[in-house]
Amino acid sequence: MASEKHVEPVIGVIGGSGLYEIDGLKDKEWRRCETPWGAPSDDLLFGSISGVRCVFLPRHGRGHPIPPSRLNYRANIDALKRAGVTDIISLSAVGSLKEELEPGRFVLVDQFIDLTQGRQRTFFEEGCVAHVSMAEPVSHRLLTTLGDTAEKLHIPVTRGGTYVVIEGPQFSTRAESDLYRSWGCSVIGMTNMPEARLAREAEMNYVTVGMVTDYDCWHEDHDSVTVDTVVTTMKKNATHARELVKDAIASLGHKRELDQAERALDNAIITPPDARDSGLLARLDAVAGRVLFSHQ
């Protein structure tokens, strides 16, 4: 939990396609979590690794019943916040938009281009308006730890890269794929927005491990992407992902000072207290309780 100055980290892991559980959790227990925004994708898996508390959520639910456009991103992030999570590691299957990012490589994403449409992308609706900064959407502290851990484990890793988030569920056309390449994007996926936005609004650190499964459809030497390709490579990536997460969590447990993202709401809420909607404020209890209901 965050106190005035220090944080006892709790690591949240969001498992993407092919990752419906993680390894090495002690005292593990699946627990249902209700939120004011509806139900998260699944129960949360609580436990600890090397004494560090952690919470796992399968993004699409166990069995993968929920498509990217229908995920309740707000409920997922709120549930993790309510569970005490301070730092989120987002594990995601991604397509590669660069020759040198081959399937099997892990890309530690540091920027996003959000092309999603019609998803609920904020907790701060009518009645309490907030504008947080998204200039640096990921935690460089988490990125560095994951990069160092991946190198130690001999997992091919690239630090930094832009993830273009498409609405899906269909994969891209070749013209779209070429366009994203011309923008300099590194990888493509369907889920990390609005997830990263909402994590920022909820004052949680966030980082994405983009696990390359395919070359999308631009690469003339590779067949166009199919679910089969993605799932086959994802299964191979999953072993690496489990090792990475287990070791990274062990390194992330020390008590530390608050990061900038954990103060994202300090100067973000523009609606003055007397104009705020009490119903919305009640729903913001977990996400914005630090600034709305206390003086930390």
Ligand X SMILES: CSC[C@H]1O[C@H](OP(=O)(O)O)[C@H](O)[C@@H]1O
Ligand Y SMILES: Nc1ncnc2[nH]cnc12
Residues that bind ligand Y (CB under 6 A): 93-95, 171, 188-190, 213-214, 216, 225, 230
Catalytic residue among 78, 216, 247, 259: 216
Query: Is 228 labeled as catalytic in the residue annotation?
Result: no
Residue 194 interacting with ligand X (CB under 6 A): no
Residue pair 83/13 in contact by the 8 Å Cβ criterion:
no
Q: Identify the three-state secondary structure at position 288.
A: helix
Rank residues 187 and 269 by Cβ distance to ligand Y and give the closer one.
187
Nearer to ligand X, 48 or 96 (CB): 96
Q: Which of residues 15-54 bind ligand X (CB under 6 A)?
A: 16-17
Q: Kindly name the residue from 114, 214, 247, 259 that is annotated as catalytic.
A: 214
- Asked if residues 41 and 85 have their Cβ atoms less than 8 Å apart, the reply is no
CA-nearest of 282, 290, 285 to 264 is 290
- Please, are residues 281 and 141 in contact by the beta-carbon 8 Å criterion? no
Q: Which is nearer to ligand Y, 95 or 161 (CB)?
A: 95
Residue 162 interacts with ligand X (CB under 6 A)? no
Task: Examine the residue annotation and report whether 216 is marked as an active-site residue of this protein.
Answer: yes
Q: Which of 76, 136, 128, 137 is nearest to 289 (CA)?
A: 128
212 binds, among ligand X, ligand Y, none (CB under 5 to 8 A by kind): none
- State the residue number with the nearest CB to ligand X: 16
Known binding residues for substrate are 190, 214-216
